Amino acid sequence: MSFQSSYLAKVYEQVEKRDGTEKEFLQAVREVLESLEPVVAQDPSIEKWGIMERLVEPERIITFRISWVDDNGQVQVNRGYRVQFNSAIGPYKGGLRLHPSVNLSVIKFLGFEQTFKNSLTGLPIGGGKGGSDFDPKGKSDQEIMRFCQSFMTELAKHIGADTDVPAGDIGVGAREIGFLYGQYKRLRNEFTGVLTGKGLTYGGSLARKQATGYGLCYFTQEMLSCMKNDSFAGKCVVVSGSGNVAIYAAEKATTLGAKVVAMSDSSGYVYDANGINLDVMKQIKEVERARISEYVSRVEGATFTPGCKGIWTIPCDIALPCATQNELDEESAKALVANGVMAVAEGANMPSTPEAIAVLQSNGVLFGPAKAANAGGVATSALEMSQNSMRYSWSFEEVDNKLHGIMVGIFHNAFNAAEKYGMAGNLVAGANIAGFEKVAQSMIAQGVAY
């Protein structure tokens, strides 16, 4: 699709010219620019103030060497990134990803998306993202610790409780945040809320671990209720992934009366017609850090199929992709539609390809895009920052209630923005527009630095 606005066409062309090899970043930029067509058409100040040109260029990109020593005494070298994308509405905020697929394109797409997502939460947080191509799989605790300490030794120069507050993402959970936090404290001699997702004994927030998955289900429940007068009760659900987001999405969907019949990891997926036993799944993935295929040796009747894509051929009413980017393609979307799926909501970041989204939307499937549907994690991270600033902690119920209110609010903001600009029901456009407006207004108010 080409752009109607010559301004947006020019901005996109410039990004292609500068960053043409960054395919994930280009994909994310194109989707946002396309949905902002009607906003740009109505508001000349966006072009006048160079908002789009500035939004697609990170404020700062930091890349650095992370050297560490493995258990055999060998020196290992990885590459670290922190992309400080946009600080118009608050300190940079976004997770750290440790996965061999991490490169600048992946971190930039995540940081770009994060800017709009964080704005949608209604909380004062800017957009950022970071990580490394380090692969945590198969590493000992000692190796993870040495890597995290080396990573933080450089990262500490660029972050701070009022500057940039990283959190977890793929490959970064409570263990890694603990090692990173310990090193930051050692280097700076200060106990501040510089990271979120911390352990509960040293400043973490109750319900942060559950927040992205629970928030995804609160968003989906509101979408089902408002757009189809329906709910999770009695529905069959497929969840991809079996990490932090997937496990707590499956837990909340089950609590809301659904049956989750399949989950996956990067090796394949398990199917359990009786509903996934989450105690067994948590033991395998959270405690033992083992492969998902273990599940079938512990639960009678369950099956394991190698390869990830096949999970979308399992008939379901609701699909929650919660693993990684571009995991749900056009063919998978067609399979879901053929099996009568009624709603797809994204727990992972950009898990659906543009072609898949087009198939789902054109077939009347409710579609909750990541930057709205998975914003519960970062929203609760912002609540963790508030609690750290106050040196106080809220109960699980208090945080969970706030999270629920935030997710319901995000759904309605996206829904109303889509309606206002003549795209009723298109939550992709609605989320992009609603997230954009506050950031753009703040950038205009703060002027351009010459």
Minimum distance of ligand NDP from residue 114's CB (angstroms): 9
Tell which residue, 160, 154, 115, 117, has the closest CA to residue 132: 154
* Shortest reach from residue 10's CB to ligand NDP, in Å: 30
Nearest to 343 by CA among 323, 322, 373, 364: 364
The span from the CA of 152 to the CA of 315, in Å, is 44
Question: Least distance from C-beta 411 to ligand NDP, angstroms?
Answer: 16
The yes-or-no answer on residue 117 being catalytic is: no
Q: Which is nearer to ligand NDP, 153 or 212 (CB)?
A: 212
Give the shortest CB-270-to-ligand NDP separation in angstroms: 11
Give the long-range contacts of residues 295-300, CB within 8 A, separation 24 or more: 295/270, 296/270, 299/272
For 168-287, list the strands marked E by DSSP.
236-240, 259-265, 268-271
Q: Which residues, 6+ apart, have CB-to-CB distance to 144 below 8 Å?
A: 136, 175, 176, 179
Size of the site for ligand NDP (CB under 6 A): 25
Nearer to ligand NDP by C-beta: 261 or 348?
348
Question: Which is closer to ligand NDP, CB of 219 or CB of 232?
Answer: 219
**Residue 308 binds ligand NDP, judged by CB under 6 A:** yes
* Calpha distance 90→92 (Å, rounded): 6
| 165 touching ligand NDP, by CB under 6 A | no
Q: Which of 149, 324, 388, 413 binds ligand NDP (CB under 6 A)?
A: 324
Residues 87-126 close enough to bind ligand NDP by CB under 6 A: 99, 101
Cβ-proximal residue to ligand NDP, closest one: 243
Q: Kindly indicate which of the ranges 12-20, 64-72, 163-171, 269-277 contains the residues binding ligand NDP, using the contact rule CB under 6 A.
A: 163-171
User: Is the Cβ of residue 41 or residue 280 nearer to ligand NDP in the bound state?
Assistant: 280
Number of H helices, E strands in the chain: 18, 12
Q: Is 215 in the site for ligand NDP (CB under 6 A)?
A: no
- Beta strands of 19-149 (E only): which ranges? 60-69, 75-86, 92-98, 126-132
Of 129, 209, 252, 259, catalytic? 129
Q: Does 399 bind ligand NDP (CB under 6 A)?
A: no
All residues at 6 or more sequence positions from 360 whose CB lies less than 8 Å from its CB, including other chains: 333, 336, 337, 341, 344, 352, 367
Give catalytic residue positions. 129
Judged by the rule CB under 6 A, the positions of this chain that interact with ligand NDP are 99, 101, 168-171, 212, 241-246, 265-267, 308, 322-324, 347-349, 374, 377
